[in-house]
Amino acid sequence: MDLNGKLVASACEKEASHERITELVSGAGTPSIIATDVSPAPSFVQKVAARFNARLFVPEHSLSQEEKRGIGGKIQNAHIRDAYAAAVKAYRNYENRLRQIEHMETSLDRDLLKHMVLQGHSLHNAELMLTRKEEKKMEEVERSEKKPGKAARDERLVRLAEENVNLRKALEMERAKAAELEERLKKAESGSFSEIAKDREVRRLTDALKRKSRYIHFLKKKKRRKKE
């Protein structure tokens, strides 16, 4: 399954080794979680998860045939149905966090954020790590672009000027969005709706404002680096 809960591939192979299963899974992508339908997890499944250094999801209790049919009733192959039911149970366990990332305002790769959160990182740390990774990537590009010769320097200066204009526009837009969030936060704090609803909205807006502030800081650093 992908990080939006959609089935992307399924297979069934008799007496396959964990190396063979690893090969089949790799053909569909890099897993964030390996799931099993029985508790405790079989050593076979643990080996597959270890091969990918992926998190292992184990249900609180082994899934019954009735429960598995309820999840994957349209799947005829019983083995694939069992695997699909395990994947669905794992997805549902993290669904709220995945939806939160899907709907958050960010320029970072949402799938990478989801993958890191599923691997055990907090959303805050995942954002910081990916932001730093983007910064390093930009630094490497800038170093590779330092070519000798006046024509090359002039070309680079023109490109940097264009990028600075785009960065300035992006910075202005993010500041406007941050100001809007601050205004909404003030209204939420003084609103007339219930205390529970108010607290929930305040927390949501505060988290959004913090993310926006971090992104503005990132854009400022990027803009300063371009000027240098």
Give the relative orientation of helices 123-144 and 195-227 as an angle to the nearest 10 degrees: 10
Identify the residue whose tokens are 């069934």: 12
- Dist. CA 107–CA 122, nearest whole Å: 18
**Mean per-residue pLDDT of the chain:** 80
The CA-atom distances, in angstroms, between 196 and each of 181, 182, 202, 203 are: 20, 20, 10, 11
DSSP states of 5-44: S--------TT--HHHHHHHHHHH---SEEE-SSSSPPHH
Asked if residues 177 and 212 have their Cβ atoms less than 8 Å apart, the reply is: yes
Nearest to 189, CA basis, from 206, 174, 211, 214: 206
- Dist. CA 36–CA 27, nearest whole Å: 19
Percentage of the chain exceeding pLDDT 70: 69
- Dist. CA 150–CA 147, nearest whole Å: 9
- Per-domain boundaries in the chain: 18-95, 110-227
Task: Dig out the tokens for 185 from the structure.
Answer: 């936060």
Q: What is the DSSP letter of 41?
A: P
Q: What is the pLDDT of residue 178?
A: 72
Cα 75-78-80 angle, rounded to 5 deg: 65
Mean pLDDT of 82-91: 95
Would you say residue 38 has pLDDT above 70? yes
User: Which has more confidence, 89 or 181?
Assistant: 89
- Dist. CA 213–CA 198, nearest whole Å: 22
Q: What is the pLDDT of residue 147?
A: 53
Q: What is the pLDDT of residue 80?
A: 93
Task: Dig out the tokens for 13 from the structure.
Answer: 């192979």
Lowest mean pLDDT among 85-89, 193-197, 211-215: 193-197
User: Which has more confidence, 153 or 71?
Assistant: 71
Nearest to 217, CA basis, from 182, 167, 142: 167
Which amino acid is residue 228, in one-letter code?
A: E
Task: Dig out the tokens for 36 from the structure.
Answer: 């099993």
Q: What is the pLDDT of residue 92?
A: 94
- Residue-wise pLDDT tens digits, 170-193: 666 667 777 777 777 777 766 655
